[in-house]
Amino acid sequence: MNPFSSGTRLRDMIRAIRACKTAAEERAVVRKECAAIRAAVSENDQDYRHRNLAKLMFIHMLGYPTHFGQMECLKLIASSGFPEKRIGYLGLMLLLDERQEVLMLVTNSLKQDLNHSNQYIVGLALCALGNICSAEMARDLAPEVERLLQFRDPNIRKKAALCSIRIIKKVPDLAENFISPAAALLKEKHHGVLITGVQLCTDLCKISTEALEYFRKRCTESLVKVLRDAVNSPYAPEYDIAGITDPFLHIRLLKLLRVLGQGDADASDCMNDILAQVATKTESNKNAGNAILYECVETIMSIEENSGLRVLAINILGRFLSNRDNNIRYVALNMLMKAVLVDAQAVQRHRATILECVKMIVLMSWKSLHGIGRARCSKNTSYNFIHTSPQQKHHSLLKVHFFNGKRPNNSEKHYKSHLEKYKDSDASIKKRALELVFLLVNDSNVKPLTKELIDYLEVSDQEFKGDLTAKICSIVEKFSPEKVWYIDQMLKVLTEAGNFVKDEVWHGLIVVISNASDLHGYTVRSLYRAFQISSEQEILVRVVVWCIGEYGEMLVNGIGMLDKEDPITVTESDAVDVVEIAIKRHTSDITTRAMCLVALLKLSSRFPSCSARIKEIINQHKGNLVLELQQRSIEFNSIIEKHQNIRSSLVERMPVLDEATYSGRRAGSLPTTVSTSKGASLNLPNGVAKPAAAPLVDLLDLSSDDTPAPSSSGGDFLQDLLGVDLALPSLSGTSQAPSSGADMLLDLLSIGTPPVQNNVSTADILSSGTDTKKPVVPLERLSSLSSPLPTQVSSAGASPVMDLLDGLTPNLSTPGDNGPVYPSTVAFQSSSLKIMFNFSKQPGNPQTTSIQATFTNMSSNAYTDFIFQAAVPKFVQLHLDPASSNTLPASGSGSVTQSLHVTNSQHGQKPLAMRIRIAYKVNGQDVLEQGQVNNFPAGL
Amino acid sequence: MGIRFILLVNKQGQTRLAQYYEYLTLEQRRALEGEIVRKCLARTEQQCSFVEHRNYKVVYRRYASLFFLVGVDNDENELAILEFIHLLVETMDRHFGNVCELDIMFHLEKAHFMLEEMVMNGCIVETSKQNILTPIQLMDKAS
């Protein structure tokens, strides 16, 4: 028989579809069938209507459009036979939805069928109505449904109850009509009616507070009784699941009790006993029992507090956690996380037990390693969690292993096979468990917990390491009791999973190291050791290189030795070896290599004996294909060769980085004033006092978290310190000068302010560094920040000087001496265009600043259609006046000015920032330039 | 409303039965089925039976070559849904006698009738296998 003829049977069509090898073949079969069905529809074929609709449902399930069958459904529903009606209603529910106009036509048939003498037909109509009824139908048919709630056959009553839910959801106004019939359903014995009645009450409570009050007052006690009967009911084979009679009914009842008990002490009181009974008596060795326990726990945690019950609930969850079934663990973790939010204290009281369990989960692979977990963890379900139990002894056994720190002496192969087994243990469970550990950490348990987590890091699978690392880092940062511990833990993490550590975390580490002056030696030696073990972790290498660059001599001389340290002997050349290995590793990226170059420069002055070798290494990068590295190596080389006399002061240790500012920055808000620590100077061993310059924080603030608005200096650690900003050199508004030794120096030096009380000023270094041989810039002048400075260092050109000013301005504009006068800045400069900003403020209105922008054309072609646009963060208002002209003459022979008025609503809290865009035409061609202005003087 | 949809899918990811209790267009259904099936079928036995997808929680259980996927609201009791899937399978088993994929394919409408007796508008109506099957058996006798 040809399967594609119009007379195909349903079975044949399904076979034909199943036989299709490709999606295209399937489409062809379906197309033919649909054509046949359409033909049958237009011929008004009575005999096969029923079969055609069954086919359509199959086609619909496969995901093909079947709208042409909708009318057929209606015709079948209107026919008199039960089988036709049945398939018609099924089609109605599957093929139609409440949004279709056709549905209106069915209302009348539904009404007739709801009043039909055959109760099965009434059941069909109720079912269809319950699934697809629209608001209009709900209004029309609500009286019928209400009447059917009292129908003699319970099978109709249960369907009418669910149909009512649909109706009250569509038309909440009708809810009050259903309250007392719903309450009547709760007295039924038939499980189907009970379960749907309870469901109806629950939904009524959600919709109407009146219903909630009604059920709370009148039904709480009877519901408790229903639940008690259900719990104590004798064996009923029809409803029995794993020895429990109708767990679904239990669960619905517990849900309704939860709604009633929430926020009402009396109702909660009333249900305490039965909840305790369910929590203690329910069998927990089968899924059905656990489902009830789970629901019971949720109810206990939601109703008004009863500490005894809550202990019970948390105990159940603890037991769940140690269950071997992943599903049970999953719900337990979910619930505990909810519980922490509801009643943190109750959970905290059981923190120890919960932590043990969660650790078991997170540390699954460890458990398998020891091979003892499985035997112990088997069906041991009935023990009480709070008390000491064999299981806890097992935990402590586990601990012994942890604290020995080493893997057991099983063969490596054995170890791996176990690992494989647990590799694909559920990631979502581990993630949740970790999340929960994180919520439960506090000052007293942070140390042992971190230790175990770090131990686990070693064996966890790759996908999980990222999450785990982030969590460990955040725990360590948040709860660290002392700096040396923090540094130790971070080093461990870096050694184990350095590649997963986020930028802000290792920047934070460097800030802390920089501040812990008594630990510099210890840190650099630990890092040196760590590097010997795991040199493949990029981030670890960066920190190692930075610290060796800064504190290399402490590594060699063993300065600041702690008691717990083992002495090591490191020669100067060993230290240089580390940096050399790092820079030559081909997996190192530009950032790391650039850091290596800076470290080498620093070491060249600290280790004179290695100077020649360092020069050699630096020279090897002269031909580097990356412009930045090439430039650095050439510049550094010339410093080493030609500027011996100033080198040592050039590469002095970085000033201490300001922790408060850094953490404030990380928290996403800028400190109120950048210049916080004017007087706080730190005496370094070499006797040179350095200011603890707050703006340095900018150096460590990588642009990874740069929100455009608050960033006052666009300060990217690498951008500012190393200038490795390869992508957008013209946008930063800094460092535009041609590559020269001076440029590098300026970058290095744009980090601090010359301390007023110090006789070795940065400016001093600068002037000698650029070989201008000019007299030292008077400090008074610097601090008053007048413009003569550029003329003093004339050979360096304007832009590097602006660089210097960038670094200086925030500190110099102290409240005492700045007044309303602000220095003008180069807001933007490219090879073709330069924009100067002049600032003025009206007295008495500190929020508003008038900016006079001056545009100068540096190229040899005139610009036409010149348009300047600016954008500011939300807290700033900007008003742009028209420009003086839209044509910019060539070669700086004229300029255009434009006034901007900005109002900083967070004046004194957040600095100004601005994004600018300049569009113009050169020789008829459109040019677009854009950039960010971050170098506004402080206080605007 | 607890249950949002019920899907039966075979090992190859072909849908064998789909019942939605909320309105989705054909395209949305197809996309949703594709995503969920791909997600669930890729999971191993050690992993738990719950998958969060979009705003659903999908509870699934595998019986031989058939996957039963039930999409529920986030606050639904997942363990109870697992039990419900088992009840559905047991009911089908009682009717078809050792139910298999083909039984459901060739008797799609009967599978739907059973589901209709068990779930209405996303809520469980009846949990007694006898009560579920009575109307279906009556109809079989009549035809």
Arithmetic mean of pLDDT, A766-773 = 40
- B17 versus A752: the higher-pLDDT residue is B17
Closest approach of A526 to chain B, Cα-based (Å): 40
Q: How far apart are CA A293 and CA A251, in angstroms?
A: 9
- Taking the CA of residue B135 and the nearest CA in chain A, the distance in Å comes to 7
Say if the Cβ atoms of B80 and A155 lie within 8 Å.
no
pTM tops 0.90: no
CA dihedral A745, A751, A757, A761 (to 10 degrees): 10
Strand boundaries in A779-862, DSSP class E: 825-829, 833-841, 848-857
- Whether A776 shows a pLDDT value over 50: the answer reads no
Cβ A799 vs Cβ A735: under 8 Å: yes
Tell which wins on pLDDT, A184 or A416: A184
Percent of chain A with pLDDT over 90: 12
> How many angstroms separate the CA of residue A11 from the nearest CA in chain B?
6
Smallest Cα–Cα separation from A25: which of A10, A3, A41, A55? Answer: A3
Contact (CB<8Å) A163/B130: no
Bridge-based pairing state of the strands A914-922 and A863-871: antiparallel
B21 in contact with chain A, both atoms CB, cutoff 8 A = yes
Q: Between the CA atoms of A389, A390, A396 and A400, what dihedral angle is there, to the nearest 10 degrees?
A: 170
Lowest mean pLDDT among A272-281, A580-589, B107-116: A580-589
* Per-residue pLDDT at A125: 92
Record the tokens describing residue A499, joined without a space: 């590649």
Query: Please, which residues bridge with residue A926 across strands?
Result: A921
- Provide the pLDDT for residue A243: 80
Smallest CA-to-CA distance from A303 within A254, A253, A258 is with A258
Q: What pLDDT is recorded for position A497?
A: 85
Residue identified by tokens 């999606």 is: A23
pLDDT (average), residues A161-173: 92
What's the confidence (pLDDT) of residue B118? 93
Residue of B nearest to A296 (CA): B77
Which tokens go with A328? 């049970």
Q: Per residue in B123-138, pLDDT tens?
A: 999 988 898 998 888 8
| Cβ burial, residue A831 (10 Å; 0-12/13-18/19+) | exposed
Which residue type, as a one-letter code, is found at position A265? A
Q: What's the token pair of residue A344?
A: 């943190």
Question: How does pLDDT run across A518-547, given as a tens digit for each residue?
Answer: 888 888 888 888 888 887 888 899 999 999
**pLDDT score, position A312:** 87
Name the one residue in this structure whose structure tokens are 């093909």.
A64
Pick A402 or A618 by higher pLDDT: A618
**At residue A803, does pLDDT exceed 60?**
no
Closest CA to A699 of A713, A709, A682, A681: A713
Note whether B31 contacts A: Cβ–Cβ < 8 A. Answer: no
Name chain B contacts of A123, Cβ cutoff 8 Å: 135
Does residue A367 carry a pLDDT above 60? Answer: no
Of residues A849, A837, A902, A839, the one with CA closest to residue A875? A902
C-alpha to C-alpha distance for A537 and A173, rounded to whole angstroms: 65
In angstroms, what separates the C-alpha of B141 from chain A's closest C-alpha? Answer: 11
Best of B79, B124, B134 to disrupt the A interface (most A CBs within 10 Å) is: B79
Tell me, yes or no, if B93 comes closer than 8 A to chain A by beta carbon.
no
Looking at residue A874, what is its pLDDT? 77
Question: A18 and B105: CB-CB below 8 Å?
Answer: yes
Percent share of chain A, pLDDT over 70: 75
Residue A725 has φ and ψ, to the nearest 5°, of: -80, 95
Under an 8 A CB cutoff, do A65 and B47 touch? Answer: no
Position A160 pLDDT exceeds 90: yes
Q: How far apart are CA A154 and CA B79, in angstroms?
A: 28
Highest mean pLDDT among A136-150, A372-386, A803-817: A136-150
Contacts of A358 (CB under 8 A, 6+ apart): A321, A333, A433, A434, A436, A437, A440
As a CATH number, domain A822-933 is: 2.60.40.1230
CB contacts of A158 in chain B (<8 Å) are 125-126
pLDDT classification of A276: cutoffs 50, 70, 90? very high
Q: How confident is the model at residue B90 (pLDDT cuts 50, 70, 90)?
A: very high
Q: How far, CA to CA in Å, does A807 sit from each of A42, A726, B123?
A: 84, 21, 67
Res A122: pLDDT: 92
User: What's the first-to-final CA gap in chain A, in angstroms?
Assistant: 88
How much is the pLDDT for A7? 54
Average pLDDT over residues A284-310: 88
Burial A268-305, CB ≥16 within 10 A → b, else e: bebbbebbbebbeebebeebbbbbbbbbbbbbbbbbee
**pLDDT at residue B8, as a whole number:** 93
Contacts of B142 in chain A (CB under 8 A): 82-83
Number of domains in chain B: 1
A 10 A CB-CB count for A583 gives 23
Query: What pLDDT is attached to residue A296?
Result: 93
Instruction: Tell me the pLDDT of chain A averaged across its residues.
Output: 74
CATH of the domain at B74: 3.30.450.60
Q: Which long-range contacts (CB under 8 A, 24 or more apart) does B8-11 make?
A: B8/B66, B8/B67, B8/B68, B8/B69, B8/B104, B8/B111, B9/B33, B9/B37, B9/B40, B9/B41, B9/B66, B9/B67, B9/B69, B10/B65, B10/B66, B10/B67, B10/B101, B11/B41, B11/B65, B11/B66, B11/B67
Domain boundaries, chain A: 441-666, 822-933
Q: Please name the residue ranges forming H helices in B71-123.
A: 78-96, 101-106, 108-118
Distance from CA of B88 to the nearest CA of A (A): 13
Span A874-892, average pLDDT: 81
The pLDDT, as a whole number, for residue A295 is 92
Of A849, A861, A916, nearest in space to A888 by CA: A861
pLDDT tens digits along B16-45: 999 999 888 888 888 999 999 988 888 887
B131 vs A166: CB contact, 8 Å cut-off?
A: no
Q: Which residues of B touch A10 (CB under 8 A)?
A: 106
Segment A61-78 shows an average pLDDT of: 86
Cα(A47)–Cα(A81) distance, rounded to whole angstroms?
13
CB contact under 8 A, B77 and A65: no
Higher pLDDT, A726 or A642: A642
Residue A74: pLDDT band (50, 70, 90) is: confident
Please tell me the predicted confidence (pLDDT) of residue A126: 92
Residue A336 vs residues A277, A294, A314, A432, A497: alpha-carbon distances, Å: 21, 11, 8, 10, 29
pLDDT greater at residue A759 or residue B1 = B1
Query: Is the confidence at residue A695, as pLDDT, over 60?
Result: no
B81 to A270, A292, A450, A905, B111: CA distances (angstroms): 29, 12, 37, 54, 18
Q: What is the pLDDT of residue A363?
A: 60
**Between A93 and A649, residue with greater pLDDT:** A93
CA B124 to chain centre: 12
Which amino acid is present at A36? A
- The structure tokens listed for A763 are 């400016």
**Mean per-residue pLDDT, A491-506:** 86
The pLDDT assigned to B85 comes to 94
Where is pLDDT greater, at A50 or A591? A591
A chain contacts of residue B77, beta-carbon cutoff 8 Å: 251, 291, 294-295, 298
Q: Where are the beta strands (DSSP E) in chain B?
A: 3-10, 15-20, 50-53, 56-63, 66-72, 119-120, 123-124
Cβ separation of B108 and A241 shorter than 8 Å? Answer: no
Give the distance, in angstroms, between the CA of residue A139 and the centroid of all CA atoms in the same chain. 46
Residues of B with Cβ-Cβ distance to A82 under 8 angstroms:
139, 142
Q: Structural domain of residue B10, as residue ranges? A: 3-142
Sign of CA dihedral A339, A344, A349, A353: positive
* Mean pLDDT to the nearest integer, A565-591: 84
- Cα–Cα distance for residue pair B119/B80, rounded to 1 Å: 14
The mean pLDDT of A658-683, rounded to a whole number, is: 49
> What secondary structure does DSSP assign to A515-529, as a single string?
H-GGGHHHHHHHHHH
Residues A441-666: name the CATH superfamily: Leucine-rich Repeat Variant (1.25.10.10)
- Chain A residue closest to B108 (CA)? A58
Instruction: Find the mean pLDDT for residues A828-835.
Output: 81
What's the confidence (pLDDT) of residue A918?
A: 85
Sort out which chain A residues have CB atoms less than 8 A from B128's CB and list them: 191-192, 238-239
pLDDT value of position A291: 92
B101 near A CB under 8 A = no
Helix (H, G, I), strand (E, B) or coil at A432: helix
Residue A893 reports pLDDT greater than 70: yes
**Which of A10, A22, A86 best tests the B interface by mutation, with the highest count of B CBs <10 A?**
A86
**CA-CA distance, A121 to A275, in Å (whole number)?**
41
Name the residue among A61, A98, A327 with its Cβ closest to that of B79: A327
